[in-house]
Amino acid sequence: MSTEPTGLRESKKRETRQLISDHATRLFLRQGFEQTTISDIADAARVAKKTVTNYFPRKEDLAFDHHEEFTAGLARALAGRAPGETALAALRRDFLDAAGRQDPVAGFAGPAFTRMIADSPTLTTRLRDLHDLREESLARALAETTGAAGDDITPRAAAAQLGAAHRVLFGRIQELTLAGRPPQEIAALVTEDATRVFGLLQPSLGNYAPA
């Protein structure tokens, strides 16, 4: 039985996870995602292949290592809305804050990483899956916060529209990044885009799900 303190064990686990992630990202950027193997990553990090897969069950998780934060993001923004603030207002505010910070989870991943995703069919497919999972999480949160009946389609419909807005804006950030625009300019442009995108939802969702 290990007598190592729990806090130290957890700290070592986080360090190992980050070490593996860092080496994987470096290899993905240098060799391409499809061309890099789990063995390559294990060798670079000087760990066993099983250690890599214990921390990252899917190879795609090594590229999208913040996927849990991403998929929970819209539901978390909903939970954090101010008294009287609607779902639309909260998610718009959250996106604008992320754009202002140039948050990588919102799409500000830099040209090399964004190109890596665009060049990989596997990562492009996984990104679509993550957008779907994020929308599903938001739908569940909307159903809970509004007390909707199990057969009420409204939360799913609202989540589909709000999720689509964020998906479009994420894609816009990628598009501008690949076009070589600097991050500050991208942030300014998507802030303007967000005003239009969320404005389109105002007539249908402007009063939906206030806190």
Whether 44 and 136 share a structural domain:
no
Q: Percent of the chain having pLDDT more than 90?
A: 93
Task: Give the tens place of pLDDT for each residue, 66-97.
Answer: 899 999 999 999 999 999 999 999 999 999 99
The verdict on residue 211 lying in a domain is no
Whether 53 and 81 share a structural domain:
no
The verdict on residue 210 lying in a domain is no
The verdict on residue 194 lying in a domain is yes
pLDDT of residue 3: 57
Whether 135 and 189 share a structural domain:
yes
- DSSP assignment of the chain equals ---S-HHHHHHHHHHHHHHHHHHHHHHHHHH-TTT--HHHHHHHHTS-HHHHHHH-SSHHHHHSTTHHHHHHHHHHHHHTPPTT--HHHHHHHHHHHHHHHT-GGGT---HHHHHHHHT-HHHHHHHHHHHHHHHHHHHHHHHHHHT--TT--HHHHHHHHHHHHHHHHHHHHHHHHHTT--HHHHHHHHHHHHHHHHHHHHHHHTTSS--
Q: What is the dihedral of CA 154, 160, 161, 163, to 10 degrees?
A: 130
Whether 137 and 90 share a structural domain:
yes
Whether 53 and 92 share a structural domain:
no
CB neighbours of 165 closer than 8 A, spacing ≥ 6? 91, 197, 198, 200, 201
Return the axis-axis angle of helices 154-178 and 111-118, rounded to nearest 10°: 120
This prediction has a pTM of 0.90
Whether 180 and 101 share a structural domain:
yes
Q: How far apart are CA 195 and CA 62, in angstroms?
A: 33
Whether 199 and 142 share a structural domain:
yes
Tell me the pLDDT band of 137, cut-offs 50, 70 and 90.
very high
Domain CATH for 35: 1.10.10.60
Whether 42 and 77 share a structural domain:
no
Domain CATH for 198: 1.10.357
| Residue found by looking up tokens 């470096």 in the block | 26
The verdict on residue 1 lying in a domain is no
The verdict on residue 179 lying in a domain is yes
Whether 178 and 121 share a structural domain:
yes
pLDDT of residue 7: 82
- Buried b / exposed e over 90-122, threshold 16 CB at 10 Å, is bbbbbbbebbeebbeebbbbeeebbbbbeebee
Among candidates 99, 89, 104, 105, which has minimal Cα distance to 162? 89
* pLDDT (mean) for 130-140: 98
Q: How many domains would you assign to the chain?
A: 2
Task: Give the tens place of pLDDT for each residue, 8-28.
Answer: 888 899 999 999 999 999 999
pLDDT at 2 > cutoff 60:
no
Whether 37 and 131 share a structural domain:
no
pLDDT of residue 9: 84
pLDDT at 127 > cutoff 60:
yes
Whether 49 and 94 share a structural domain:
no
| Residue found by looking up tokens 């009420």 in the block | 152
The verdict on residue 102 lying in a domain is yes
Whether 19 and 112 share a structural domain:
no
Joined together, the tokens standing for residue 22 give 């860092």
What single-letter amino acid sits at 90? A
Tell me the pLDDT band of 44, cut-offs 50, 70 and 90.
very high
Task: Give the tens place of pLDDT for each residue, 156-190.
Answer: 999 999 999 999 999 999 999 999 999 999 999 99
Domain range enclosing 44: 6-58
The rounded mean pLDDT for the chain is: 95
What single-letter amino acid sits at 153? I
